[in-house]
């Protein structure tokens, strides 16, 4: 039975090795005085799928942007295991909640953007673009414009774009929140496959308990005002994450436990 | 087969709508002209008060060489004024987007230039500048601002997250003002330029109409000095000579020029945006 080798375990600051990137007492207070994050410390292990789960406004997106270097923390620091400040950017792929495609450009041109910014011409990037589109199953739509695609297809393009640089770390900011449930399920499954195929590390921001349990190796539960991590949950399911897992008693149990943690997060002390 | 039926029906319905959209205003126009002709004939209105449409048409044909030459003068001023407005407006908008300091120092002056009625500036320009340059300057002044403000708006309308991606995937700019400027110029070319296109096109359409108005206003101001030769000058001249049919003929020509310019701009806008922008792509489907 699946339950025999899987289970829920609440752990105190958990640091599997080797660490790819670590947040060390990171805090962010915006210019208007709002403290979005306070004293967040977490290590992201190479190859793991980590979800940041919390209510809206708990600073999970801010944490993600700090990891990406899009905003600077006002306290603490972000440490990369084996790269200097300049070259870790090339190891990051970022997916926003919105597909954030350029509406004037075709699907292929959108996927080209990161490569273009690295100085590759469209011709030189052609193989990489085709490869990335194939990964997300969008090869037939290379010449389409974003307005011709459905929400799920746009998100696939957005993921393809994030993958063109073959990042070691994929940062995803509630990427499937705006999609209908069936599309979300399908994209969850595809994301699993992609991750297994590419072996990249993923930090996934979500407010969905179900999604986080389905996808993650580890869930960091956050509380709001100011945002901090109050619990970490390890999902030790080593079997396939598929419809069997989604309908298993274990999955239901895990969701229940994580939901309880999330509901009580406001009363919990920061880790 | 089943699906062909409704689509054929839909296409014939949409074609019917297109015909209706052209036929209806045309019919109303013809009706108004007929009513005008009838009124003038029945009430025996003298042509120096209100010439009948047939007389206006006959005058237009009789005076065609004169009117055509004047038309070309006005058209040249309008298009040249518009071109200069586009060059100046776009250049300034780009400059503003690259440098806040320049924007803060120059934008208020551009607003002052815009809000001052051009009819009030025209006589001054006619004193300081050669007459043809003054007319051109008037057309430029009124057409300039919509291009500037719309292009500015467009350049700022890039998705912030896209700019974030740009920052993430672009190579980290080396410290120094020049490197930063280069990085901004790159974002301008790859992101802001295409994002600004729809707003720029809207500005261009407004500017085209305004440029014609500016040219006419300036010609009228200059016309009273007796040195003009554009269509507006012909109108003033006809008014003084009580040649009201010719005044009407010139007016009709001006209206036609305005409509043609509008259609040309709409076509340019359509060609530039039809592939991706809702304002143009929605109409086809």
B188-214 pLDDT tens trace: 889 999 999 999 999 999 999 999 999
B137-163 pLDDT tens trace: 999 999 999 999 999 999 988 888 998
Mark yes or no for CB contact A102/B165 under 8 Å: no
What domains are there in chain A, each with its CATH number? 2-267 (3.40.50.300)
pLDDT of residue A271: 66
Calculate the CA dihedral of residues A148, A151, A154, A155 and round it to 10 degrees. Answer: -170
Q: For residue A171, what is the DSSP state?
A: E
pLDDT of residue B4: 43
Looking at the partner chain, which of B162, B195, B278 has a beta carbon nearest the beta carbon of A100?
A: B162
Model's pTM, two decimal places? 0.82
Looking at the partner chain, which of A89, A98, A116 has a beta carbon nearest the beta carbon of B168?
A: A89
Range of the domain at B197: 51-281
Mark yes or no for CB contact A104/B170 under 8 Å: no
Percent of chain B whose predicted confidence (pLDDT) is above 90: 53
Of residues A270 and B177, which shows the higher confidence score? B177
pLDDT band at B225 (very low <50, low <70, confident <90, very high): low
pLDDT band at B77 (very low <50, low <70, confident <90, very high): very high
Average pLDDT over residues A39-57: 89
Looking at the partner chain, which of A100, A114, A117 has a beta carbon nearest the beta carbon of B159?
A: A100
Same domain, B60 and B156: yes
Mark yes or no for CB contact A70/B195 under 8 Å: no
A125-144 pLDDT tens trace: 999 999 999 999 999 999 99
Same domain, B29 and B57: no
A62-86 pLDDT tens trace: 999 999 988 889 988 888 887 665 5
Average pLDDT over residues B31-48: 94
Nearest residue in A to B281, CA atom: A147
Instruction: Report yes or no: B142 and B165 within 8 Å, Cβ to Cβ.
Output: no
User: Cβ contacts (< 8 Å) between A103 and chain B: which residues?
Assistant: 276-277
Tokens 């815009």 sit at which residue? B114
Same domain, B132 and B254: yes
Same domain, B23 and B158: no
pLDDT of residue B110: 85
pLDDT at A124 over 50: yes
Lowest mean pLDDT among A66-70, B24-28, B183-187, B198-202: B183-187
Residues on chain B bordering chain A, Cβ-to-Cβ distance under 8 angstroms: 159, 161-162, 164-172, 190-191, 194-195, 197, 275-278, 281
Looking at the partner chain, which of A65, A114, A146 has a beta carbon nearest the beta carbon of B169?
A: A114
pLDDT of residue B3: 42
Same domain, B68 and B206: yes
Residue contacts between A and B (CB atoms, under 8 Å): 57
For chain B, the average pLDDT equals: 86
Please provide residue B130's backbone torsions phi and psi, each rounded to the nearest 5 degrees.
Answer: -55, 150
Distance (Å) from the alpha carbon of B175 to chain A's nearest alpha carbon: 12
Taking the Cβ of residue A89 and every Cβ of chain B, the question of whether any pair is shorter than 8 Å is answered with yes
User: Cβ contacts (< 8 Å) between A70 and chain B: which residues?
Assistant: 164, 167-168
B90-146 pLDDT tens trace: 999 999 988 888 888 888 888 888 888 888 888 888 889 888 899 999 999 999 999
Please provide residue A154's backbone torsions phi and psi, each rounded to the nearest 5 degrees.
Answer: -60, -40
Looking at the partner chain, which of B161, B171, B194 has a beta carbon nearest the beta carbon of A98?
A: B161
Same domain, B103 and B158: yes
pLDDT at A35 over 90: no
Same domain, B224 and B246: yes
The separation between CA A44 and the C-alpha centre of its own chain, rounded to angstroms, equals 12
pLDDT of residue A4: 35
Same domain, B164 and B60: yes
Same domain, B147 and B188: yes
Instruction: Report yes or no: A223 and A264 within 8 Å, Cβ to Cβ.
Output: no
Same domain, B9 and B106: no
A244-262 pLDDT tens trace: 888 888 888 889 888 888 8
Mark yes or no for CB contact B172/A86 under 8 Å: yes
Name the domain count of chain B: 2
Of residues A262 and A267, which shows the higher confidence score? A262
Taking the Cβ of residue A143 and every Cβ of chain B, the question of whether any pair is shorter than 8 Å is answered with no
Q: What is the CATH number of the domain that holds B89?
A: 1.10.3720.10
Same domain, B36 and B128: no
Taking the Cβ of residue A166 and every Cβ of chain B, the question of whether any pair is shorter than 8 Å is answered with no
Same domain, B147 and B225: yes
């Amino acid at each position: 039975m699946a339950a025999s080798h899987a289970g829920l375990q609440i752990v105190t600051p958990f640091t599997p090795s080797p660490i790819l990137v670590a947040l060390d007492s990171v805090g962010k207070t915006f210019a208007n005085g709002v403290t979005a994050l306070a004293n967040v410390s977490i290590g992201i292990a190479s190859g793991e799928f980590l979800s940041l789960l919390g209510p809206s406004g708990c600073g999970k997106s801010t944490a993600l942007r700090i990891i990406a270097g899009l905003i600077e923390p006002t306290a603490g620091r972000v440490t990369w295991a084996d790269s200097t400040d300049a070259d870790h950017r090339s190891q990051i792929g970022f997916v926003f909640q919105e597909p954030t495609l350029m509406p004037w450009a075709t699907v292929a041109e959108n996927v080209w953007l990161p490569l273009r910014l690295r100085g590759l011409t469209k011709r030189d990037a052609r193989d990489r673009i085709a490869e990335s589109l194939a990964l997300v199953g969008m090869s037939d739509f290379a010449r389409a414009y974003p307005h011709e695609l459905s929400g799920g297809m746009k998100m696939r393009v957005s993921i393809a774009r994030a993958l063109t640089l073959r990042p070691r770390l994929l940062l995803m900011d509630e990427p499937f929140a705006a999609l209908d449930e069936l599309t979300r399920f399908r994209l969850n499954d595809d994301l699993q496959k992609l991750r297994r195929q590419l072996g990249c590390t993923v930090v996934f921001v979500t407010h969905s308990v179900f999604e986080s349990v389905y996808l993650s190796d580890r869930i960091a539960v956050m509380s709001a005002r100011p945002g901090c991590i109050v619990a970490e949950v390890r999902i030790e399911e080593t079997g396939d994450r598929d419809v069997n897992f989604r309908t298993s008693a274990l999955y239901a149990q895990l969701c229940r436990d994580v939901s309880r943690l999330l509901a009580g997060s406001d009363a919990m002390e920061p880790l | 087969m089943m699906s062909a039926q409704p689509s054929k029906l839909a296409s014939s319905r949409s074609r019917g709508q297109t015909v209706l959209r052209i036929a209806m205003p045309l019919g109303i126009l013809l009706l108004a002209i007929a009513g005008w002709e009838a009124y003038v004939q029945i009430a025996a209105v003298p042509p120096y008060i209100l010439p009948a449409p047939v007389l206006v048409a006959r005058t237009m044909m009789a005076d065609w060489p004169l009117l055509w030459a004047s038309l070309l003068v006005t058209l040249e001023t309008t298009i040249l004024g518009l071109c200069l407005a586009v060059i100046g407006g776009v250049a300034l908008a780009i400059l503003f987007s690259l440098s806040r300091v320049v924007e803060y120092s120059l934008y208020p002056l551009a607003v002052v230039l815009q809000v001052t009625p051009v009819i009030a500036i025209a006589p001054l320009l006619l004193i300081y500048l050669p007459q043809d340059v003054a007319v051109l300057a008037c057309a430029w002044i009124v057409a300039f601002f919509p291009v500037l403000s719309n292009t500015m708006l467009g350049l700022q309308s890039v998705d912030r997250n896209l700019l974030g991606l740009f920052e993430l995937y672009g190579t980290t700019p080396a410290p120094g003002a020049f490197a930063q400027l280069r990085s901004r110029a790159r974002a301008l070319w790859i992101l802001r330029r295409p994002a600004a296109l729809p707003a720029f096109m809207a500005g261009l359409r407004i500017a085209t109409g305004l440029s014609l108005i500016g040219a006419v206003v300036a010609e009228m101001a200059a016309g009273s000095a007796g040195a003009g030769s554009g269509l507006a000058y012909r109108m003033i001249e006809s008014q003084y000579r009580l040649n009201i049919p010719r005044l009407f003929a010139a007016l009709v020509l001006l209206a036609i020029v305005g409509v043609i310019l509008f259609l040309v701009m709409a076509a340019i806008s359509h060609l530039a945006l039809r592939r991706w922008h809702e304002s143009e792509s929605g109409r086809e489907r």
